[in-house]
Amino acid sequence: MSAPILMPAATGQESAASVARWVGVACVVLLCVLPFVSSNYRVFQFTLVIVYAIALLGLNILTGYNGQISLGHGAFYAIGAYVAAILMDRFGVPYWLTIPAAGLVCLVAGFLFGLPALRLEGVYLALATFALAVALPQLLKYKHLEHWTGGVQGIVIIKPDAPFGIPLNPDRWLYFFALAVGGIMFLLGRNLLNGRVGRALVAIRDHPIAASAMGINTPLYKSLAFGVSALFTGVAGALSAIAVQFVAPDSFGPFLSISLLVGMVVGGVATISGAIYGALFVQFVPNAADQISKAAPWAVYGLFLIGVIYLVPSGISGAIRSGWVRIARFRQSRARPLGG
């Protein structure tokens, strides 16, 4: 799985393309070797990085590419997680089947939420989704749903073993499983976003009136964006339930939605690679601050969020892109004689 690199449209394009190919190969090799050189806990963390990356890609589809601000995406993450947990625990469904099931449920839920959301613009939609994020834990704890959701205690699930007797411990197996799911989701996402649909979403974001004047069925695309975005995030949620082996209402509070927002902004809004950088950030950077105080990771989130908006609004992926452009320009000026 390689991170897309912007090609400078100049000389050396072919050598840049082959560099990209080698980097891609190196990345794939690295990803496969990683679990064998790390402790089980690290493998678990890397699995979570993949999970967040899928969730962030989902959020990016809706908020980054389509401009519908969601501060409540944790809700879809939670739905995915609970679907997986309930199916596995109450119905004995095999873990790998819960992933597409969670995705499907969230696709429908997202689309349904997207319908009333059509009437909400910018700040209002942010407000409604924020309200959803704040109210969610209470909803999940509701005693009349306890039979399904396990109430405050939540549901515990068992990490699956590797199939067919493959000699991998559960953590490593789960990592490769998540990697496979991630690969599929990113491929799906890339095809969606780099094609006509992606362009339509962006057109709706930037020039909504012109877009519908040109014949784009804006309401349909916007609701579908909600649905697809929820699907991605729901898949991530289901994976996370299996990885963490546990779902409980308090894990899905407003700060989950906020960390998704932070991940998207820090990684790079409206980019595919941004989801990966954001996931790495969310998983590793604030935890480093945990040493100082329980509150410090959140202070880090807040500072990074504001700092990125000010200094590097296009996030890590944007910074890398301008870095490449600068390198390409430098090489160009070296290749040409002065004044030529």
Partner 1 sequence: MQGLLHQVFSGLATGGIYASVALALVMIYRATHLVNFAQGELAMFSTYIAWSLIQAGLPYWVAFVLTVAIAFLLGGAIQYVVLRPLRSASVLSLVAVFIGLLVIFNSLAGWIFTYTIKTFPSPFPKDPPFGQYYFSAHEFGAFGVTLVVLGLLYGFFRFTPVGLAMRAAAENPQSSRLVGIRVDRMLALGWGLAAAIGAVAGMMVAPIVYLDPSMMSGILLYAFAAALLGGIDSPGGAVLGGFIIGVLENLLGAYVIGTELKLSVALAVIIGVLVVRPTGLFGQVHVTRV
Residues at the site binding partner 1, with contacts judged by CB under 8 A? 63, 67, 69, 71, 116, 119-120, 122-124, 126-128, 130-132, 134-135, 138-139, 141-143, 209, 254-255, 258, 261-262, 265, 269, 293-299, 301-303, 305-306, 309-310, 313
Helix (H, G, I), strand (E, B) or coil at 208: helix
Q: Which is nearer to partner 1, 18 or 153 (CB)?
A: 153
136 within 8 A of 75, measured Cβ to Cβ: yes
Closest CA to 199 of 184, 185, 214: 214
Q: Which is nearer to partner 1, 9 or 123 (CB)?
A: 123
56 within 8 A of 260, measured Cβ to Cβ: yes
Give the position of tokens 């491929």: 187
Q: Most distant CA pair in the chain: distance in Å?
A: 77
* CA-based R_g, the chain, Å: 21
How many Å apart are CA 251 and CA 318, to the nearest integer?
31
Q: How far is the CB of 278 from partner 1 (least distance, A)?
A: 13
Cα 261 to its chain centre, rounded Å, is 10
Q: Which is nearer to partner 1, 172 or 205 (CB)?
A: 205
Q: Which is nearer to partner 1, 157 or 282 (CB)?
A: 282
How many Å apart are CA 336 and CA 340, to the nearest integer?
6
Quick count: other Cβ atoms within 10 Å of Cβ 280?
18
87 within 8 A of 76, measured Cβ to Cβ: no
Strand partners, 156: 246
Amino acid letter, 312: V
